[in-house]
Structure 1
Amino acid sequence: MAATSSPSTAAAAMWAFAAATCVKLLLVPTYRSTDFDVHRYWLALTHALPARQWYTDASSQWTLDYPPFFAYFSRLLSLPAPFVDASLVAIPVPAAPSSSVYILYLRLTVAFSDLLLLASVLLLARDARRRQRPFLALLLVLWSPALLIVDHIHFQYNGFLMGLLLLSLHFLEQGKDLAGGVVFAALLCSKHLFLVAAPVYFVYLFRHYCCGRGLARGLGRLVLMGAGVVAVFAMAFAPFVYYGQMQQLLSRLFPFGRGLFHAYWAPNFWVFYIVLDKILAFLLRRLGFSIEIPEASFTRGLVGDSSPFSVLPKVTPITTFLLVILAMTPCLVKAFANPQSKHIIRWVAYACSCGFMFGWHVHEKASLHFTIPLALIAMDSLDDVRHYFLLSIVSCYSLFPLLFEDQEYPIKVLLLLTYGALMWVGFSSHFAANPATGGKKLDASDSIVEKKFTGWISLGYLLGMFAIEFWSRLFHHHVFGDRLPFLPLMIVSVYCGIGMMYSWIWQLSWIIRHT
């Protein structure tokens, strides 16, 4: 029988989701990025044009560059649109939203698609050992401030995609490997950036599902898993193979010409690489060497140059691919040697962390791919609590530059502070009530450091974010005027990159020592 959540946990999670939905509705009038225009165009594109034109249409700059299942998803969301506002699915789309109903409709499609995230969280309420997960762990997923910022202000559909990932992880935790592999294949056909987790899935499923069961049975399971995955990909891509558009489709999905960096640099390894390059270039020029500064320099925040370096070697897509695989190798070895379902969430989260830290053209929003799953195991131990407390705050703060208008500033600050307070109170209460989990019994008189879910170094690091905010908001303009407008963003990327690098090292260390 499938593991399900207890009635009390399910009810509490649904109430938490309902409260989060109310917050989402309050965010309807807030800032909308160009992603809003992208998705409203995809809504019109998939509704007004036949499928054979979806990946060839170039009448707009917002060309479809997600896999076919997401296009089908957009088509599904577009079906009620003509009854709300005919311009929602008109080609060409209007230059601006024609009514508040227009905006409300698209916002509600994001909130509606989050139901898959809720369903996955309810299924994950019990882990592989049939142990009840703490309600706070579920709440940390449903109330993720980073997810609220990216999906319900900036505008995307990550809640739906994370729901698919968590559903796949639920099946793997419960030993339903075939279902987990098929759902992950559906996720890849919805957003291809999750390919970074595919090596872990392949190694784990091969060893856990196919091997060690006799040659005939293992071969049969391998064929069954392969048939299931191939069937999913066939449903997604077969129509476009028939139309002869696979080359065009793949060029849309993998536009390597966009360059190593996104317009807003993700706080990963490459931030340090390019900062080092700029420091070396500055020093060599001061010493009299002739150093050429590329047009798409770091301080201009431009995108599209695959080699914005002056001194250090050029980075290519194959270089980033090899680094990701190299970083992931210890995890793959562990998954191959001892494939245990209780570790699958941690392994997949680590794989996504490797893609974030070393990948090509990484978006800052990709930190959701590992912070959301890690929330589910954040309370497994005090070490996990310490790690998640730091990581979740750093991840959310790194997204602050996405909301650059003044009216959204109090919202993003309030979301992060509320989440931080929730973790502080929730973690303290949990370990005070369960001293065996953390070793030391806690009481109300303990300080934040004595509560052990943060130490003095990590606390000092987190407080440093306040200094960065004060500088960016109050002093930068007075010191530099209109010069170096991108400096605050660079500082945020580098500073958060330190926290992200620590998280990656911590995850790697944990996997090596404990799995």
Structure 2
Amino acid sequence: MSFWQIAGCITAVKVLLIPSYHSTDFEVHRNWLAITHSLPISKWYYEETSEWTLDYPPLFALFEYLLSQIAQFFDKKMLDVKNLNYASEATVLFQRGSVIATDLLYMYAIQEYCSYCLGGERKKAAFYKTPQFTLAVLLMGNFGLLLVDHIHFQYNGFLFGILLLSITRICQGRIIEGAMWFAVALNFKHIFLYIAPAYFVFLLRNYCFSSNKDGSVRWSSFSMKRFISLGIVVSMVFLLSFGPYIILHQLGQVMTRLFPFKRGLCHAYWAANFWALYNIADKVAAVIGVRVGLVSPGVTQAAMTSGLVQQYDHAVLPSVTPVVTLACTVTSMLPYLIHMWRHPTGPRGFLRGIVLCAFSSFMFGWHVHEKAVLLIIIPLTLLAMTKKTDAQVFVLVSTTGHLALFPLIFTQPETPIKYCMMLFFTILCFVQLGDVFHDHGAWYRLPLLSVMESMYVTGLMAVEVYCSLLHWLFGLQHHLPFLPLMLMSTYCAVGVSYSWLKFYRTCLLDRTVNVVKQD
């Protein structure tokens, strides 16, 4: 099977998912189509007829505008700003089709990375016999992307395509082009700010400085020419993106939409991160406090378990502010960023920096969405093919992180679909990577994982059974409606936190010096 045959099979699955359930994000993007098509650019970031206001960077707004020029040939009514919650068959077909079509960029970026990885192996072995075949299957068939983009509905595929293209160009030594593509990704979706520190440190250290024989930075080697070249390329992308709003004196309004800090520490459904564990600790402390008479009974009815997007105070533990989350995020990144600076790294070290920054931002960021785990899993897939320890973390965090996405799809017709897709992808990960590293497990443990880790993964199934079935059989849905979500977030947060710590240890212990080639 060739690369593009794999792509064709995955695309066929996406087409079959067109009639499936879609979330409010479908209406979000329909509304953005209407805003950018019907209103002048000066009103795009002020329009608020719908609650789903435009809150992505300007390049994504331009992307929606370009899509709207095609959308008008399918159904003009979808482009009416006042036509809220409009979802005709033509509208669904167009929006689903646009996600599938733009995924071609993601597939192209995967093909480019696989070609870079293959090198001289292309003549030695057929594609389907190489580890890069496994890489292509795991990236294109990623369960999280299929669930979030092609059922729940979003446009993450082509955005990750831009990111992978940036990574590929940097690994190839085409540094300026790689920096440009990352700037483009940032101006499409600002979630990529999570991994910007890794890019900044890597490019500054490896492109603008050279090293002494012992690997330390040679300060006198700083190249102002290269630094300015990077600055010009990145600045030009940002200027093209934000320039119109600077001219219109609307930059402040745009930034307010991009960074709405009044949404609270956690999303309605908590992401499986440190703050989920913090919230649970606060809840347990409050309950115990009431029992021993140290806390008034009313505080146990914490707003954080209401399932609403809002600001709230913790009952016992100190309440967390955006500044605190920023400090925790930066502090957790610093050890490896310093490591990247002190030890010049090649493509593997660069990818590890991206994954660790994504990990840290997911673990400690403000109002992190559960879908942000994909920013960890996709780049980590690239590393999973190169070293067994990285593959071990990948199978653990992908299984845990993907299961944490299950509550996004709660409709009955899609339930067997998500179970089958998740099961197939997870088995594929364990089997294929087990083959790559010659670790097929045993009756008492899963491939690549220890006994303890295997027991934890098995426990994920028990949590899902309770959340999807037993909670309702016990009749607790009226008394404890948020319990299944809370249990899922908390249990998955343990696995994600463990994966983060394990990956961090592996990265800091790696002293491999391998400088990337430069254009």
TM value normalised by structure 2: 0.91
What's the offset of the Cα at 1:178? 1.3
Q: Residues of 1 paired with 2:55 and 2:179: CA distance?
A: 24
**Residues 286 and 21 from structure 1, CA distance in 2 versus in 1: closer, same or farther, beyond 3 angstroms?**
same
What's the offset of the Cα at 1:138? 1.8
Partner of 2:201: 203
1:492 equivalenced with 2:481 (yes/no): no
Aligned partner of 1:473: which letter?
Answer: S
Contact 2:431 2:447 in 1 (8 A): no
The percentage of aligned residue pairs carrying the same residue is 39
1:317 equivalenced with 2:306 (yes/no): no
**Residues 468 and 203 from structure 1, CA distance in 2 versus in 1: closer, same or farther, beyond 3 angstroms?**
same
Question: Number of aligned pairs?
Answer: 492
1:456 equivalenced with 2:461 (yes/no): no
What's the offset of the Cα at 1:284? 1.1
For residue 90 of structure 2, give the secondary structure of its aligned residue in structure 1.
helix
Q: Residues of 1 paired with 2:279 and 2:263: CA distance?
A: 17
More displaced stretch, 374-383 vs 501-510: 374-383
Aligned partner of 2:354: which letter?
Answer: V
Contact 2:407 2:485 in 1 (8 A): yes
Q: Residues of 2 paired with 1:18 and 1:128: CA distance?
A: 22
Given the alignment, which residue of 332, 348, 369 partners 1:363?
369
Contact 2:6 2:137 in 1 (8 A): yes
What's the offset of the Cα at 1:332? 0.5
Contact 2:116 2:172 in 1 (8 A): yes
More displaced stretch, 206-215 vs 276-285: 206-215
For residue 5 of structure 2, give the secondary structure of its aligned residue in structure 1.
helix
Aligned partner of 1:427: which letter?
Answer: L
Contact 2:359 2:376 in 1 (8 A): yes
Given the alignment, which residue of 490, 502, 505 partners 1:506?
502
Aligned partner of 1:123: which letter?
Answer: E
**Residues 29 and 505 from structure 1, CA distance in 2 versus in 1: closer, same or farther, beyond 3 angstroms?**
same
| RMSD between superposed Cα atoms in Å | 2.0
Q: Residues of 2 paired with 1:313 and 1:144: CA distance?
A: 38
For residue 124 of structure 1, give the secondary structure of its aligned residue in structure 2.
helix
What's the offset of the Cα at 1:470? 2.1
Aligned partner of 2:313: which letter?
Answer: P
Partner of 1:66: 56
Q: Residues of 2 paired with 1:366 and 1:448: CA distance?
A: 34
Q: Residues of 1 paired with 2:44 and 2:351: CA distance?
A: 35
What's the offset of the Cα at 1:477? 2.1
1:84 equivalenced with 2:74 (yes/no): yes
1:247 equivalenced with 2:252 (yes/no): yes
Pairing of 1:464-479 with structure 2 (within 5 A): 464-479=459-474
**Residues 464 and 216 from structure 1, CA distance in 2 versus in 1: closer, same or farther, beyond 3 angstroms?**
closer
What's the offset of the Cα at 1:250? 0.4
What's the offset of the Cα at 1:130? 4.3
Partner of 1:275: 280
Contact 1:85 1:102 in 2 (8 A): yes
Contact 1:428 1:451 in 2 (8 A): no
Partner of 1:297: 303
For residue 377 of structure 1, give the secondary structure of its aligned residue in structure 2.
helix
Partner of 2:108: 119
Q: Residues of 2 paired with 1:272 and 1:468: CA distance?
A: 16
What's the offset of the Cα at 1:454? 2.1
For residue 413 of structure 2, give the secondary structure of its aligned residue in structure 1.
helix
Contact 2:117 2:132 in 1 (8 A): no
**Residues 267 and 216 from structure 1, CA distance in 2 versus in 1: closer, same or farther, beyond 3 angstroms?**
closer
Partner of 2:9: 19
Q: Residues of 2 paired with 1:34 and 1:348: CA distance?
A: 30
Contact 2:31 2:84 in 1 (8 A): no
What's the offset of the Cα at 1:16? 1.3
What's the offset of the Cα at 1:357? 0.4
Poorly superposed stretches of 4+, deviation over 6 Å: none
For residue 293 of structure 2, give the secondary structure of its aligned residue in structure 1.
coil
| Stretches of structure 2 lacking an aligned partner (at least 5 in a row) | 122-130, 211-217, 512-519
What are the Cα deviations for residues 293-334 of structure 1, in whole angstroms up to 9, with x where unaligned? 2875233222211x4301111111111111111110111111
1:430 equivalenced with 2:436 (yes/no): yes
1:162 equivalenced with 2:157 (yes/no): no
More displaced stretch, 258-267 vs 125-134: 125-134
Contact 1:296 1:303 in 2 (8 A): no
For residue 125 of structure 1, give the secondary structure of its aligned residue in structure 2.
helix
| Stretches of structure 1 lacking an aligned partner (at least 5 in a row) | 1-10, 433-437
Contact 2:377 2:397 in 1 (8 A): yes
**Residues 232 and 146 from structure 1, CA distance in 2 versus in 1: closer, same or farther, beyond 3 angstroms?**
same
**Residues 447 and 128 from structure 1, CA distance in 2 versus in 1: closer, same or farther, beyond 3 angstroms?**
closer
For residue 271 of structure 2, give the secondary structure of its aligned residue in structure 1.
coil
More displaced stretch, 49-58 vs 447-456: 447-456
Aligned partner of 1:48: which letter?
Answer: S
Partner of 1:144: 142
What are the Cα deviations for residues 322-360 of structure 1, in whole angstroms up to 9, with x where unaligned? 111111011111111123222211210110110000000
Partner of 1:398: 404
Contact 1:277 1:312 in 2 (8 A): yes
Aligned partner of 2:334: which letter?
Answer: T
For residue 158 of structure 2, give the secondary structure of its aligned residue in structure 1.
helix
Given the alignment, which residue of 46, 56, 75 partners 1:56?
46
Q: Residues of 2 paired with 1:356 and 1:93: CA distance?
A: 35
Contact 2:274 2:364 in 1 (8 A): yes
Partner of 1:8: none
Given the alignment, which residue of 381, 384, 404 partners 1:378?
384
Given the alignment, which residue of 417, 425, 430 partners 1:419?
425
What are the Cα deviations for residues 240-272 of structure 1, in whole angstroms up to 9, with x where unaligned? 011111111000000001010101100000011
Q: Residues of 2 paired with 1:485 and 1:285: CA distance?
A: 22
For residue 276 of structure 2, give the secondary structure of its aligned residue in structure 1.
helix
TM value normalised by structure 1: 0.91
